[in-house]
Amino acid sequence: NLYRRTMQGKDMKEKFNEFYFSSGLYSYYIEAYVELHPIYKPVAVLFRKGDKEIGLEELQRAIDSTTYIQVEALLFMSLLQLNYEKEMDQALEYAAVLYNNYPKNTYYIGHYLMILLYQDEFELAQVILEGLGQKEDKYSHMIYTIMQGFIIENNLNNLTDAKSNYLDGIEIAEEFGPFADIYKAIAYAGLSRISLKTKNKKLSKKHRRKSKSLSNYEFILDYE
């Protein structure tokens, strides 16, 4: 039923711009996901073919011309640039728009911070972190603790305090289940780097496996 509705939306996008979002997602992901997971190729042939370039164009059209779905289009464009296209600069641009338009939204703050940190933009990240640290809810505190640990580890080179931050952040994150997996992945990747730097290769591999099980984002484990 969802597939039929999506195809109907693709055929109606010229009449109602909001459908450029679902059409773009389908066009892109039906190709990109199978490229990343070839095991699904025999299943994908049963559905209408997509086109990644067209998908990107349609998502950009949704960003530029829709009213109700523009924010979701911005977020998904940032996510796919990050995870599939491996274009972190592009992902950062879309994340910055979300952050600037919705500076009180904790999810967008965290997403923007994550990309900034992996781009080594520590100065700007620290400014944003200071604002996040003033929030009183535990989810914000969890993000603040882990991201601060990242800065302490990679900008200040204080492995002891960074490890403490990562462990504290992981403990807080347990309360939020899958909603905090990306941040736990960042923390475990940090613990893996710290363990490697302190000559504990066995523990480093253990933390690395844990990080990989929590996120498919390659840049998290590729960071050095």
pLDDT digits (tens, 9 = 90+) for 52-86: 999 999 999 999 999 999 999 999 999 999 999 99
Which of 65, 63, 66 has the alpha carbon at shortest distance from 78? 63
How long a stretch of residues is the chain?
Answer: 224
Structure tokens at 191: 């613990």
pLDDT at 57: 97
pLDDT at 1: 87
How far apart CA 157 and CA 145 sit, in angstroms, is 16
- Of residues 118 and 1, more confidence is placed in 118
* Mean of pLDDT values over 125-148: 96
pLDDT at 195: 98
pLDDT at 14: 86
Is residue 209 very low, low, confident or very high in pLDDT (cuts 50, 70, 90)?
A: very high
Burial code (b: 16+ CB inside 10 Å, e: under 16) for 126-144 equals bebbeebeeeeeebbbbbb
Is residue 106 very low, low, confident or very high in pLDDT (cuts 50, 70, 90)?
A: very high
pLDDT at 122: 97
pLDDT at 2: 86
pLDDT at 98: 98
Q: Which amino acid is at 88?
A: M
Share of the chain above pLDDT 90, in %: 91
Those residues whose C-beta lies under 8 Å from the C-beta of residue 95, and which sit 6 or more positions away, are 78, 108, 111, 112, 115
* Mean of pLDDT values over 137-164: 97
pLDDT at 160: 97
Q: Which amino acid is at 211?
A: S
Is residue 182 very low, low, confident or very high in pLDDT (cuts 50, 70, 90)?
A: very high
Is residue 148 very low, low, confident or very high in pLDDT (cuts 50, 70, 90)?
A: very high
